[in-house]
Amino acid sequence: MRNVLITGASRGIGAETARLFAENGDNVYINYCSSVQAAETLQWSLTQKGFSAKTIKADVSSSDSVQQMFADIEKDCGGIDVLVNNAGIAQIKLFTDITNDEWDKMVATNLSSVFYCCRAALPYMIRQKFGRIVNISSMWGQVGGSCEVHYSAVKAGIIGLTKALAMEEGLSGITVNCVAPGVITTDMTAHLTEDDLKALKDETATGTLGTPYDIARTVLFLADHHSSFITGQVFGINGGSVL
Ligand code: NAP
């Protein structure tokens, strides 16, 4: 049974990814920061069905918190075989209005978190000569989003980190890939108006928005043992809005 850590798995894309991995027969660690009830409800619903899932609290924007999470996981199961760096925040704001604190929080939560978690997960993966890392970026990291410059910048940073780390870890049997979702219906996009949503749908080839399942099944595929020749890649799951 593989040990899988999904950051930010209390809600949205992360929660759906945790569900798919658990149903796949993996032992899943559901990381959360503040949504303890959602994380525990997800864990309960999975274990009730006989799947293996545990919750683990950590603020992934903090190096100390990530180190403690990995120490706890190592004590529990030895180490992580599959790491999904999914936790993230978004903010819509004019570039010139972004404060230093907002910039720092965006970088820490969405990008430094990926650095902290990969760095903590890799020694075990390197020792066992196997690992799968999937990082969740965004289509805004590929094309840039107006009024989301800080978000776009960190999501582009995840793409660079993915490509470089894939080169460094390839000979150790570790693949590092990136999924860049388009607009997905979760809490993160719940503030959008009907008009916004219609405009976003119109920008896709499919005329639809994505679901957490669309992203989760791609992550599961990339984490498969048989996906060993796929690394350093960015998978745009966006209904064709970024071709
Ligand atoms: P969401 O529904 O808002 O959920 C965000 C998750 O991240 C929650 O589980 C939250 O946990 C967790 N999180 C936030 N800050 C954290 C921290 N400091 N430490 C640990 N966990 C933290 O978002 P989503 O739509 O599922 O997005 C998931 C990922 O996909 C993000 O990286 C996002 O940027 C990316 N993405 C989303 C879309 C979209 O349209 N939805 C598009 C492109 C990319 P708590 O509630 O427990 O704090």
pLDDT digits (tens, 9 = 90+) for 70-122: 999 999 999 999 999 999 999 999 999 999 999 999 999 999 999 999 999 99
In 94-193, which ranges are E strands? 131-136, 174-181
Residue 196 has pLDDT above 80, yes or no: yes
The secondary structure of residue 184, as a DSSP letter, is B
Q: What is the mean pLDDT of the chain?
A: 97
CA of 191 to the centre of ligand 1 (A): 14
What the chain holds in terms of domains, given with CATH numbers, is: 3-183+218-236 (3.40.50.720)
* Binding pocket residue ranges, ligand 1, CB within 6 Å: 7-8, 10-14, 31-35, 59-61, 86-90, 109, 136, 138, 181, 183-184, 186-189
Contact 27, 4 (CB under 8 A): yes
Per DSSP, 174 falls in state E
Catalytic, out of 32, 116, 124, 151: 151
For residue 220, is pLDDT > 80? yes
The atom number, within ligand 1, closest to the CA of 39 reads 47
213 belongs to the catalytic site? no
Nearest alpha carbon to residue 234 among 164, 147, 129 = 164
Q: Quick one: average pLDDT of 179-201?
A: 95
**In the prediction, which pLDDT does 216 show?**
98
Please tell me the distance from the alpha carbon of residue 28 to that of residue 73, in angstroms, as a whole number.
Answer: 11
Query: Does residue 154 carry a pLDDT above 90?
Result: yes
Question: Among 146, 20, 37, 25, which Cα is nearest to 84's?
Answer: 20
pLDDT, mean of residues 143-151: 96
Instruction: Please write the tens of the pLDDT for every residue from 155-176.
Output: 999 999 999 999 999 999 999 9
Answer yes or no: are the C-beta atoms of 212 and 186 closer than 8 Å.
yes
Q: What is the pLDDT of residue 6?
A: 98
Structure tokens at 86: 């999914």
Q: How confident is the model at residue 242 (pLDDT cuts 50, 70, 90)?
A: confident
Q: Mean pLDDT over residues 59-76, rounded?
A: 98
User: 102 C-alpha to center of ligand 1: Å?
Assistant: 16
The answer to whether the CB of 133 falls within 8 A of the CB of 165 is: yes
Q: Which residue puts its alpha carbon closest to atom 18 of ligand 1?
A: 59
- 145 — pLDDT class (breaks 50, 70, 90): very high
Q: Ligand 1 pocket test: which of 7, 11, 191 has the largest number of ligand atoms within 8 Å of its C-beta?
A: 11
Please give the share of the chain, as a percent, with pLDDT higher than 70.
100
> Where does the pLDDT of residue 42 fall: very low under 50, low under 70, confident under 90, or very high at 90 and above?
very high
pLDDT of residue 203: 94
What confidence score (pLDDT) does residue 243 get? 64
For residue 184, the ligand 1 atom closest to its alpha carbon is: 40
87: CA distance to ligand 1 center in Å? 4
Which of these, 139, 144, 122, 142, lies nearest to 131 by C-alpha position? 122
CA of 86 to the centre of ligand 1 (A): 6
